[in-house]
Structure formats: C-alpha cells, structure tokens
Amino acid sequence: MTKIVKDEIVHDHNGDGIDRRGFLKCMAWAGTGALCVMQGGVLKSYSLSRLSDLGASAAAAGELSFVQISDSHMGFSKPANPDVAGTLKAAVDKINALSGAPEFLLHTGDISHLSKPEEFDTVDQILKATGKEVFFVPGEHDVLNDDGAQFRERYGKAAKGAGWYSFEKKGVHFIGLVNVMNLKAGGLGTLGHEQLEWLEDDVKQLKSSTPIVVFAHIPLWTVYPEWGWGTDDSAQALAYLKKFGSVTVLNGHIHQTMQKVEGNVTFHTAASTAFPQPQPGKADSPGPMKVPAEQLRSVLGITDVNYVRGQHALAVVDSSLA
Amino acid sequence: MRRSVWILILAAPIVLAAAQLVRDSWGFTASAAQAPTSSTEVKIDNFSFGPAALTVAAGTTVTWTNRDDIPHTVVSDDKAFKSKVLDTDEKFSFTFTKPGTYSYFCSVHPKMTGKVVVQ
C-alpha cells in the first residue's frame, strides 16, 4: 500500500495543529501499519513502505527517533510461545531494518520471566545486535525474590529509589518510572510517595514547551482494573505534567497495543515480543493467549516513535513482527 | 411387586441417610470447609486461588501448588508468610500454628487474593 492521504485540520482546539478527529483517524491507520506525521500544519499519513522517505527527511531535520519494545519475558517457554528468544531476535531484525535509524531503545519491562540472571543476560546479548543504547524500566517479573536489587544493579545504577530516572535527548525529556514495587493486595500498579515527590521536583524547572516522554511498565491510565491494568496514583503524576504542551506516555504490561488521547497527553501501550494477552474482559484471566503458530508474529511487535521538532504530538507507529 | 421388595426400596434411602450421618460424625467424608484435616491444598490456576477461602485447624500445613502457565507468589498481607516466586508445578507450604484469619495475595498480580482461617 503506497497511497498518500492528506487530511485537513477541521478544529484546532489546542493550537497544536491537530484535531482529535484527525488524530484518532490517524491512530486507526497506525494499527494497519501507517505513519501519521504533522508536516506544515497538515496531518499526513504514509504507509510503512514509505517510512524510508520520512526517516530520511526526519534525520535531515535533526529530529529524534527511538523504538519502544516491551515484555520480552525471557525464560517463558509455554505453548503460547516456546521460543521467546527467537521472537525477540525477530524484533531486533525489524529494528535494524528501519531506515530512519532509531537513536536508542526503551524497554518498558518484563525483560525476564522469572528474574533469573541468565534471562537478563540473554536479553542483553540479543539487544546488543541493535548496536543501540537501551533504557529499561522494570516489570513485575523483573523484581521477583529480591525487591529489584538485581534489576537496579544491571540497569539502574544511576537511578533513584526503586529505579526511576530521567534523561534528555535532543530537547525531549524522558522519564522512566517504576510502578511494580510494593504492590498491595487487591491493588493496581503504584508509584509511591517518594517517586512522586522526585517527579514533581524533576520537572519543576522545565519549560512547558519541553516535550515529555514518560515510560513505565504498567499502564498509567486505567485500562481494566479487574485485571490490575492501571496505576492507583498515576493521576498525581499526571498532575505534575499538566503544564506541558506535549506528553507521551509509553507503557507495556498488557501485551497488546492500545492508545488514548486526553488533552495534551497521548497514552500508548506496546505489544509484547513474547506472547499476546486477551483484550480486556475477553477471557477469564489476563494470561498468555495461544494463537495459531503462523499468526504468532502478527500479534507481537515493536513501536517506532518519531519526534518532529516544533510539533506537539510524537508520531507513534506500531508494527508487528510478521 | 412383592411387599418385601417395596419395603426394601422404601427403607434404602433411610438406611443410606443414617449411614451418611454416621460417616459424617466419624469424619470420613469431611470436606476442607467443614472439618479441618491435617494437610490442605490450594490450587493456583487461571490467576486465582482455589479455594479462595480455606478453614483449617491450628497446626495444619497448607500447600499451594501453581498450575497456571504464569508464575505467582503467595504473600500474606501482614508478613506472616511469603513464598518465593512459584513457576508452573512449583509448591509452597506453610504451617499455621496460631488461630486467626490470614489474608494473602499474589505480589506479582495483586488482584489475586485469598484467605486462610485458622481455628
């Protein structure tokens, strides 16, 4: 599919050159493998086969591009996917084939399946083939048995507390949050008081025009509380980010892509590179979902994110491993 | 039909019921929820504990077995007990010596909760 579709802005509520209808329409395209980008005040969509054109011009404009992967669950070997190392390698191949080469990777957690050292080692080894720096936040599977000591030792040496931190790339402020520690019976994900105080302080001095990308394992919006798919104190975190014109929240945990736009905040969850999970309420429990072997790679995936300087919304594109 | 056969047919349920009463009082068919036994099992499957509520006598050892295809833990709300992570087919046992109600959950999937009532 190589059609280019042009959309006109109808209502520009936030003054950022995008209207909700246009964005949501574009998000529907994104599910089929298209890229939506703001160019000259007009929302354009490109099929993934034309991604190279966009990548080239984005790179020339000095823009920022990175990839999110999630839920590699190294060590899982049940029928839903007996070869999670193989599918992670397929994800790496996909990343290496992107011609708008990403600058770095974000891994939004559940790197390992049982927090075993050899599981982390295997993921590190496989991701080395991208040649890119990887920023991690832990999933609940990464902090078993040791309250996350091993995770912090490997990936969070410069981090605070349970492993939260921030960094900047090309003027975009990235914040890695940890919402899988000290979970309470019957509860959801949780950030905790200490982390929220750190977050408030971390963003206090930033100009409201600074684009923000927050990444954490469990969704920071309430996707489906019955299955624990939400974070009980994320509202407080989002309140500290209210002043910013562009906030992108990238999560994992639910092993399927989902997006939601709320004012200046775009929420997005990534597919897993290991196994899919059912849609909210469509099964008894959120366990690994078995699909016919030939369909597995089509329900696993990576997320390519492009920031075009001066534009408010980041272009977020999911592509499967098929 | 002959009367003797009729009497037998009518008497059968009475005899069976009486036998059941005797068996119950001797504890032969005790179920976990009614009469405590010395060892009790909780099965973890499909992101839930089964049975979710268990009543046992003080001194009982309860064993949790994970039959799910995802790892789980067994952690009491008040730190009385805490398993390491249990992969499929792994077990955790705890002996309840003191009476009380012990609520617990899976620390990996906190929506999974259960309780053990120790009498």
CATH number at residue A266: 3.60.21.10
Residue A259: closest CA among A178, A316, A189: A316
Measured in degrees and rounded to the nearest 5, phi and psi for residue B106 equal -95, 120
Looking at the structure, do residues B83 and B61 belong to the same domain, yes or no?
yes
Looking at the structure, do residues B97 and B59 belong to the same domain, yes or no?
yes
- So what's the pLDDT on residue A99? 75
Residue A177: closest CA among A219, A149, A147: A219
Q: What pLDDT, in 10s, does the model give residues A138-161?
A: 999 999 989 999 999 999 999 999
- So what's the pLDDT on residue A309? 78
Token pair listed for A243: 């002043």
Looking at the structure, do residues B25 and B43 belong to the same domain, yes or no?
no
How many domains is chain B partitioned into structurally? 2
Neighboring chain B residues of A275 at a CB cutoff of 8 Å = none
Residue type (1 letter), A107: H
Looking at the structure, do residues B45 and B26 belong to the same domain, yes or no?
no
In a domain, A51, yes or no: no
Residues 6+ apart with CB under 8 A from A263: A14
Question: Is the model's pLDDT at B31 over the cut of 70?
Answer: no
**How large is the average pLDDT for residues B67-87?**
95
**How large is the average pLDDT for residues A166-192?**
96
Residue range of the domain that includes A150: 57-320
- So what's the pLDDT on residue B39? 58
A-proximal residues of B, 41-80, CB under 8 Å: 46-48, 68-71, 73, 77
- Comparing B58 with A54, which gets the higher pLDDT? B58
Q: What pLDDT, in 10s, does the model give residues A80-107?
A: 999 999 999 999 999 999 978 899 999 9
DSSP label of B29: T
Reported confidence tier of residue A280, pLDDT bands at 50, 70, 90: very high
- So what's the pLDDT on residue B16? 59
Looking at the structure, do residues B18 and B46 belong to the same domain, yes or no?
no
Looking at the structure, do residues B54 and B19 belong to the same domain, yes or no?
no
Looking at the structure, do residues B46 and B25 belong to the same domain, yes or no?
no
Q: What pLDDT, in 10s, does the model give residues A306-322?
A: 998 777 788 999 999 99
Residue range of the domain that includes B23: 1-30
Asked if A158 reaches chain B (Cβ–Cβ under 8 Å), the answer is no
In three-state secondary structure terms, A96 is helix
- Comparing B41 with A309, which gets the higher pLDDT? B41
Mean of pLDDT over chain A: 86
Looking at the structure, do residues B44 and B25 belong to the same domain, yes or no?
no
Asked if B108 reaches chain A (Cβ–Cβ under 8 Å), the answer is yes
Distance CA A159, CA A175 (A): 11
Q: Hey, of A140, A151, A222, A272, which one would you mutate to test binding to chain B, going by the most B CBs within 10 A of its CB?
A: A140
Asked if A80 reaches chain B (Cβ–Cβ under 8 Å), the answer is yes
Question: Is the model's pLDDT at B12 over the cut of 70?
Answer: no
Query: Cα distance from B85 to chain A (closest Cα, Å)?
Result: 6
Looking at the structure, do residues B53 and B78 belong to the same domain, yes or no?
yes
Distance CA A90, CA A320 (A): 10
